[in-house]
């Protein structure tokens, strides 16, 4: 009622995106917000209306933007500025054809583990492809294809890993948040069931011990 | 699980064969003969919630003897866990029609295992659950926006209730994430 | 890093904005009213808090709590001080946005040698941010309300076991609003149950919270539910050991399986909730 059933123990992909949007990203501003004169320490409100005041993130960087000098802001802010044509977003270093190829190669050579891509790689890639496609050096359609390749090879690996679901625990290092979220209902349900079966067979022994 | 869990209540009403170990005056209504008695060694199908308690609690004239008391009924080997079914599960867990055996097969097996401490059944059910879950996952993850996904494959018709739930929740998740990937 | 101490200190200074800025480049609070209030406060007092509390850290903490709450089977303790700070900031920011958009602050602008005409952009971002904060707060409270409903009877019972030190008292678990809601809602529901069914039953069958039978009538959180965790760790934690892989790790044991599991810092695991509950409460791991 107060929370939709399907959100009771997992997140929607939009919520995962929301989480990722709070992470910092590098931008090249097209506007300057830095003041020529520094405000006095306790001088009383001298330039209120032009200062940015943010309540979820440090607003130092947005108050000190200089056009074409790179700085770091949270992703949601970067996307908003980009939408208003006030900045360009610097694609993360792992999001190039060369680096993606390297990751794919890693996935192929290491059958028993996931490549240590950032925990938000899939969300970040998808969001930037859609919202800032012109800011990539490599052609976006090729990048998209590579990301898809990487996703699929990791999915296959996950699928093989699911055979080892058990009643005890599981280690899933380097699996990204979106990948986890997609698999969460399945993994939790199956492991819960296996645990119940395990517990059921134990109930008799416990009673005998008592 | 829980007091108000409908599936748990339904599972508990599944009937199992019992053999009475006493003459039971006045209980004839259980067998459709109101007013009569149930004889010792009579066989009768009883819902699990009743059979369970009768199979645990003993009846003895002699109160001191309570420890040794023979329970009111003996639960006979259950048909849904008969060697025929178990062998079919061992042979190929994904090809048996669990739903036709019992729509609450896994819930019942849990109860049965708890009742008898049946470790062998537990390990069979564990591999059954896992093997079928992987098959369910294969179906759940094939998301097709042209709506053929809803056209049930024969395998999906063999799922028991808990498996249907697993299919539903995981399919929903795959579908949502696919949708997001396409929209972005 | 201990939030409780932060909160207590913050509470002393709860009406100041300036102390919340840890960044030395931000000597100036962003609206005039708070500056006035600061000047009346003993400057020595907020020396400690200057290191600890910032809007940024608070928001990060709120995000963590929101995610933990969504993933955990049980209702987690309510962070009263953090929430009151967040709500106060939301209110102040709404006022601030209103002032900026109405041009009430324009007079100051004339003092600025070269005012940048991007109030609109700034407003757009501030409003977007505000909506984001409101979303998390709403979603967090909704998730909590959902659990208050779901575990209504269980929570009522917690109240009866007040003396048990292992149990968090209800008034620490719930906010005052949630407490009020829980009380009223359960009273209404129990009255309905009683009037429609229970009172027509024989007295010995009237219990709605019998936990002695084969199935307990009171739904408890599923303590063994599997959850995804990220092992964050805290620096110089004496509980950290060197694991097999050489990385620092926490060791937890799954008692009914007689298994010990090493949780390496930075690792992602699927674990039964009961096994990692203590680590979660100590903020050494996060639910993801």
| C241-242: strand order across its sheet | C241-242, C248-254, C259-264
Protein fold of C5-178? Methane Monooxygenase Hydroxylase; Chain G, domain 1 (1.20.58)
- Residue at A69 is within a domain: yes
Determine the distance in angstroms separating the CA of C284 from the nearest CA of chain A, rounded to an integer.
Answer: 17
Determine the distance in angstroms separating the CA of B31 from the nearest CA of chain A, rounded to an integer.
Answer: 31
SS3 B25: coil
Q: Which CATH number is A86's domain given? A: 3.40.5.50
- Contact state of B113 with A197 under an 8 Å Cβ cutoff: yes
- Contact state of C218 with B3 under an 8 Å Cβ cutoff: yes
CATH 3.30.70.980 fits B1-76, yes or no: no
Domain residue ranges in chain C: 5-178, 223-288
Per-residue H/E/C for C212-273: CCCCCCCCCCCCCCEEEEEECCCCCCCCCEECCCCCEEEEEEEHHHCEEEEEECCCEEEEEH
Give chain C positions within 8 Å (CB) of A4: none
Report the pLDDT averaged over residues A23-48: 68
User: Percent of chain A scored above 90 by pLDDT?
Assistant: 70
Residue intervals of chain B classified under CATH 1.20.58.2050 are: 1-76, 79-183
Is the CB of C218 inside 8 Å of chain B's CB atoms? yes
SS3 C150: helix
Report the pLDDT averaged over residues C100-111: 61
Query: CB within 8 A of C215, min separation 6: which ones?
Result: B1, B2, B3, B8
CB atoms within 10 A of CB C115: 16
Q: How many CA atoms lie within 13 A of C59 on its CB side?
A: 22
Q: What pLDDT is stored for residue A180 in this prediction?
A: 96
CA distance linking residue A71 with residue A90, whole number of Å: 10
Q: Which residue has the tokens 């940015």?
A: A52
More confident residue, B134 or A42: B134
Is the CB of A127 inside 8 Å of chain B's CB atoms? yes
- Residue at A185 is within a domain: no
Name the pLDDT band for B40 (thresholds 50, 70, 90): confident
- Residue at A46 is within a domain: no
Out of A10, A18, A169, the one facing C254 most closely (by C-beta) is A169
Residue C12 in this model has a pLDDT that exceeds 80: no
Among B1, B2, B3, most C C-beta atoms within 10 A, so best to mutate, is B3
Q: Which range in A30-44, B70-84, C46-60 is most confidently predicted, on average pLDDT?
A: B70-84
Q: How many CA atoms lie within 13 A of C244 on its CB side?
A: 5
Q: Which domain holds residue A82?
A: 10-34+56-90
Q: What pLDDT is stored for residue B24 in this prediction?
A: 83
Out of A14, A185, A196, the one facing B110 most closely (by C-beta) is A196
Q: In this structure, what token pair is assigned to residue A7?
A: 């959100």
Q: What pLDDT is stored for residue C162 in this prediction?
A: 65
Architecture, CATH, for domain C223-288 = 3-Layer(aba) Sandwich (3.40)
Q: Are A74 and A52 in contact (CB under 8 A)?
A: no
Q: How many CB pairs under 8 A join A and B?
A: 89
pLDDT per position as a tens digit, B89-143 = 999 999 999 999 999 999 999 999 998 889 999 999 999 999 999 999 999 988 7
- Residue at A60 is within a domain: yes
Residue B144 in this model has a pLDDT that exceeds 70: no
Determine the distance in angstroms separating the CA of A201 from the nearest CA of chain C, rounded to an integer.
Answer: 12
Can you spell out the DSSP letters for C30-81?
SSHHHHHHHHTS-TTTTHHHHHH--HHHHHHHHHHHHHHHHH-SSPPPP-HH
Name the pLDDT band for B84 (thresholds 50, 70, 90): very high
Residue A210 in this model has a pLDDT that exceeds 60: no
Mean pLDDT value across chain B: 87
Our count of domains for chain A comes to 1
- Residue at A24 is within a domain: yes
Q: What pLDDT is stored for residue C191 in this prediction?
A: 93
Q: Is the pTM of the predicted complex or chain greater than 0.90?
A: no
Give chain C positions within 8 Å (CB) of B12: none
Out of B117, B162, B166, the one facing A204 most closely (by C-beta) is B117
Residue C50 in this model has a pLDDT that exceeds 60: no
Mean pLDDT value across chain C: 80
Determine the distance in angstroms separating the CA of B119 from the nearest CA of chain C, rounded to an integer.
Answer: 15
Name the pLDDT band for B68 (thresholds 50, 70, 90): low
B neighbours by CB contacts (3+ pairs under 8 Å) = A, C
Q: Given this structure, which CATH class describes domain B79-183?
A: mainly alpha
């Amino acid at each position: 009622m107060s929370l939709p059933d399907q959100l009771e123990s997992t997140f929607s992909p939009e919520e995962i995106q929301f989480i990722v949007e709070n992470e910092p990203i590098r931008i090249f501003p097209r506007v300057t917000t830095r003041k020529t004169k520094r405000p006095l320490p306790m001088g009383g409100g001298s330039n209120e209306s032009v200062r940015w005041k943010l309540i979820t993130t440090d607003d130092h960087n947005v108050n000190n933007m200089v056009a074409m000098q790179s700085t770091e802001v949270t992703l949601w802010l970067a996307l908003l500025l980009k939408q208003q044509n006030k900045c360009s977003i610097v694609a993360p270093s792992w999001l190039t054809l060369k680096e993606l190829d390297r990751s794919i190669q890693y996935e192929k050579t290491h059958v028993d583990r996931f490549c240590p891509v950032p925990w938000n790689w899939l969300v970040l890639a998808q969001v930037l492809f859609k919202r800032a496609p012109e800011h990539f050096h490599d052609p976006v359609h090729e990048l998209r294809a590579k990301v898809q390749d990487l996703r699929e090879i990791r999915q296959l690996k996950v699928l093989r890993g699911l055979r080892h679901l058990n009643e005890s625990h599981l280690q899933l290092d380097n699996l990204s948040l979106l990948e986890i979220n997609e698999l969460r209902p399945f993994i939790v349900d199956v492991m819960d069931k296996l645990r119940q079966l395990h517990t059921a067979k134990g109930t008799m022994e416990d009673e005998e011990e008592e | 699980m829980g007091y108000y869990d409908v599936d748990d209540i339904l599972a508990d009403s599944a009937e199992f064969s019992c053999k009475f170990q006493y003459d039971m005056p006045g209980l004839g209504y259980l067998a459709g003969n109101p007013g009569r008695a149930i004889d010792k060694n009579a066989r009768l199908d009883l819902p699990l919630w009743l059979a369970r308690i009768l199979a645990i609690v003993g009846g003895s004239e002699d109160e001191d003897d309570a420890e040794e008391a023979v329970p009111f009924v003996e639960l006979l080997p259950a048909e849904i866990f008969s060697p025929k079914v178990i062998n079919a599960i061992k042979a190929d867990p994904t090809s048996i029609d669990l739903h036709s055996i019992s729509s609450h097969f896994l819930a019942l097996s849990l109860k049965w295992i708890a009742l008898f401490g049946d470790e062998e059944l537990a390990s069979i059910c564990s591999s059954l659950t896992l093997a079928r879950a992987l098959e369910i996952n294969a179906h759940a993850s094939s998301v097709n926006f042209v709506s053929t996904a809803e056209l049930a494959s024969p395998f999906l018709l063999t799922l028991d209730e808990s498996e249907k739930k697993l299919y539903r929740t995981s399919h929903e998740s795959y579908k949502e994430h696919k949708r997001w990937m396409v929209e972005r | 890093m201990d939030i409780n101490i932060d909160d207590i200190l913050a509470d002393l200074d709860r009406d100041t904005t300036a102390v919340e800025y840890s960044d030395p480049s931000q000597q100036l609070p962003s609206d005039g009213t708070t500056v006035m209030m600061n000047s009346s406060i003993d400057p020595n007092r907020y020396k400690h808090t200057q290191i600890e509390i910032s809007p940024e850290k608070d928001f990060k903490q709120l995000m963590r709590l929101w995610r933990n709450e969504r993933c955990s089977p049980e209702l987690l303790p309510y962070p009263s001080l953090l929430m009151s700070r967040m709500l106060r900031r939301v209110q102040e920011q709404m006022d601030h946005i209103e002032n900026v958009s109405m041009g009430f602050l324009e007079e100051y602008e004339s003092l600025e040698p070269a005012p940048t005409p991007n109030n609109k952009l700034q407003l757009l971002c501030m409003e977007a941010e505000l909506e984001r904060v409101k979303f998390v707060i709403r979603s967090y409270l909704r998730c909590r309300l959902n659990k208050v409903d779901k575990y209504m009877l269980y929570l009522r019972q917690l109240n009866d076991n007040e003396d048990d030190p292992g149990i968090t008292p209800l008034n620490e678990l719930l906010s005052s609003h949630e407490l009020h809601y829980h009380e009223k809602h359960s009273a209404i529901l129990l009255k309905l149950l009683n009037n429609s069914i229970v009172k027509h039953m024989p007295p010995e069958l009237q219990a709605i919270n019998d936990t002695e039978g084969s199935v307990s009538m009171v739904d408890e959180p599923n303590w063994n539910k599997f959850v995804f965790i990220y092992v964050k760790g805290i620096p110089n934690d004496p509980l950290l050991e060197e694991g097999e892989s050489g990385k620092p790790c926490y060791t937890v044991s799954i008692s009914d399986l007689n298994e010990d599991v090493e949780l390496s810092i930075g690792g992602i695991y699927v674990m039964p909730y009961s096994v990692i509950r203590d680590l979660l409460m100590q903020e050494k791991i996060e639910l993801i």
